[in-house]
Structure 1
């Protein structure tokens, strides 16, 4: 009996809600496919977590036609055979063997220059397949050295933190279905989750909020390693790290192995936390995070970890407590370190806007552009500064009712200085008057 293709079994399990139905009503196929496309999967042989609606439909119709066998990858009928003419194949292989360091582009240019193929007709993919079939596709030579990648770990806790965002479940909050995102920071040496929280977006503000709590709970790291996403590139996050003497390092694009330990944490969270989550108890985001923090502290941090010599992350972290740089006096200024500064134009009524709210500022600033110093997490305006950082006064929430009875300061006319000349100058009206009546007379 032939073994069943594991990929076919996986695809069949994904299509379960569809293949288990004897009949689908009008529009039901699209509805179920759309729901399946929104879920996350552990796809064999892939780092992706989602499957497109188009792919799901193709799998479904393949299953309808050929059953489980239709869900297996069909082998290529032209495997091992090149469509290039025989003389061209010989020339390609000879060119590569003569100089193993030649790239496909160089081989194509060489054959075009020799007149063996017309210009821009030799397929790059065809050349690659031919070289690969003969085991000589890689560039070789003394000057070509593969990139060195080695496993490493920070020597002490607090040396390196990793930051990343994972797509979380879609849940109902207040009658609305909302997508969640898990923002996490992990200590490299101990695998301790210094802080993690589900958010409703993955903006720089969400990341800064998690970082702020991590600093309060676990001290100040020397280095934070993050990916190249726009949220991590925000100037506000870079400024926070600079003021706290934390080095902010960005992983190279398309190199997820730089944060492999966090990827492993995400897998553990899916398998142990999300798999056990009872969403009937989740009414708001705070309910979800309360259960996350309880599980992290009571379960994850207390489980022996093979990479730590079967120590728990908490115990490994506690061993290095004397080495960890604490906030100390900076704790009292931490809120200020996370304040943002945004430019605003002061309206004619002496107000500015922030997050759809209006604030009154000193009326003398009317018409000017000022910097609002804001606490983005509290949604409040702390004070007003000039564009060079000079304090310009406070900002208070606009109270239109109180303003209706407030005594207003009236504009005072500027004093007019009267200069008494010793000799009066000409007066236009008198000159015109004299000329008019003199002409009539």
Structure 2
């Protein structure tokens, strides 16, 4: 004899006051179901303690049609699948695999902090089902093998840099409270900070500005390890690295240990720099960065590190100076590597717009699409070019006052012909002659 399903027995027990009776008087079914719904139950496989009237009606109807067999638990048609977006599923699984001891609560907080899901929108049960479907719902003791992580160090200074952004202090700048962000590049072998600066945002432009200064000061790295943020994924940063033969490497999501050295630098900066910073002396961003650079050069770079065998970052970096790939002749062309190219339509008056300003380009380009070549770090428009990169002329900021006295270029008059041109047929004259055939001309 087959065993009766545990859930079928539980549901039949709940429906007892209904199934033990024969025909029910009008309204009696609704009254009894209302009474049953008000009681508490130890529901198998659930933390809930109450059963809704709608569910009780469904169970009762099923029992009348199919008997106790109809009350048995049924496998879900979508078992093993998840309604979470694929990107969220991948992030949940990556977070759990990276650290098997993470609880569902920690995973939800991690994804909320990363901006992948809105606060309190990720269902705990949805995460649990997803982890269970992939065999990750609980720690399996010794059988759980975390990803192998080993300490390493680059062979020499300049071979590997790390890039990252840290949230900085909020300052009063120009009468407004502004959040700051610390953009940093650090050398792996020496722990030397190639360059670091506080910015008012964390865009690709801010990151490229710090990279530009780092290249001028510390040479060209072989590899640059960054996270998967959109700013680091920008086409402009990838293009700069490609032209300088820098291998751009992206960390796997939710693995901060991959950049442990720069995370340690952030902790040191908070403990030693931000903890001592007197913000009352800061009037503008330049004041903050001036103090940062002084602290880096005079304190951090000259402090002995146990991980460097007692050497300072500056001394360790200087050991490898012969192996550093310097800019050399590229230094004169470095600004050009960081230029942006923006497509614009030239207006009828021969102007284009950039950052709220208008610039004049050769008038014959009116009505054409051109590429505006700009230095985004200074806001200067250099020139215009076509899609092939051929320069089409200069671009100057529009001066309407000067244009009021400027001599306009006029089209050249056509040369006079030896004989007057013979006029062609005129439609009006033709119909006039046809309508008034005897009119004198």
What TM-score does the superposition give when structure 2 sets the normalisation length?
0.67
In 2, Cα distance between equivalents of 1:139 and 1:419? 105
**Matched residue, 2:342:** 342
Displacement, 1:226?
0.4
**Matched residue, 1:10:** none
* SS of 1:119 mapped into structure 2: coil
Kept in 2, the 8 Å contact 1:162–1:259? The answer is yes
Structure 2, unmatched stretches of 5+, are: 1-42, 47-70, 80-124
In 2, Cα distance between equivalents of 1:346 and 1:127? 54
Q: Residues 135 and 388 of structure 1: is their aligned pair in 2 closer, same or farther, counting only changes over 3 Å?
A: closer
* SS of 1:322 mapped into structure 2: helix
Displacement, 1:426?
7.0
Q: Map of 1:307-322 to 2, 5 A cutoff?
A: 307-322=307-322
**Matched residue, 2:295:** 295
**Matched residue, 1:61:** none
Q: Map of 1:11-50 to 2, 5 A cutoff?
A: none
Q: Map of 1:271-286 to 2, 5 A cutoff?
A: 271-286=271-286
**Matched residue, 2:247:** 247
**Matched residue, 1:173:** 173
**Matched residue, 1:100:** none
Q: Residues 392 and 151 of structure 1: is their aligned pair in 2 closer, same or farther, counting only changes over 3 Å?
A: same
In 1, Cα distance between equivalents of 2:388 and 2:213? 30
In 2, Cα distance between equivalents of 1:253 and 1:205? 23
In 2, Cα distance between equivalents of 1:300 and 1:360? 48
Displacement, 1:435?
3.4
In 2, Cα distance between equivalents of 1:128 and 1:340? 45
Displacement, 1:256?
1.2
In 2, Cα distance between equivalents of 1:421 and 1:136? 98
Q: Map of 1:28-107 to 2, 5 A cutoff?
A: 84=45
Asked if 1:119 is matched to 2:57, the reply is: no
Structure 1, unmatched stretches of 5+, are: 1-81, 86-114
**Matched residue, 1:360:** 360
Q: Residues 403 and 303 of structure 1: is their aligned pair in 2 closer, same or farther, counting only changes over 3 Å?
A: same
What TM-score does the superposition give when structure 1 sets the normalisation length?
0.67
Q: Map of 1:185-200 to 2, 5 A cutoff?
A: 185-200=185-200
Q: Map of 1:343-422 to 2, 5 A cutoff?
A: 343-412=343-412
Displacement, 1:421?
11
**Matched residue, 1:97:** none
In 2, Cα distance between equivalents of 1:165 and 1:128? 31
Displacement, 1:410?
2.2
In 2, Cα distance between equivalents of 1:136 and 1:398? 67
Q: How many residues align?
A: 326
Q: Residues 413 and 228 of structure 1: is their aligned pair in 2 closer, same or farther, counting only changes over 3 Å?
A: farther
**Matched residue, 1:46:** none
Kept in 2, the 8 Å contact 1:83–1:126? The answer is no
Q: Residues 236 and 439 of structure 1: is their aligned pair in 2 closer, same or farther, counting only changes over 3 Å?
A: same
Q: Residues 227 and 385 of structure 1: is their aligned pair in 2 closer, same or farther, counting only changes over 3 Å?
A: same
Instruction: Point out 4+ residue stretches in structure 1 off by more than 4 angstroms.
Output: 121-129, 412-422, 424-431
In 1, Cα distance between equivalents of 2:74 and 2:416? 90
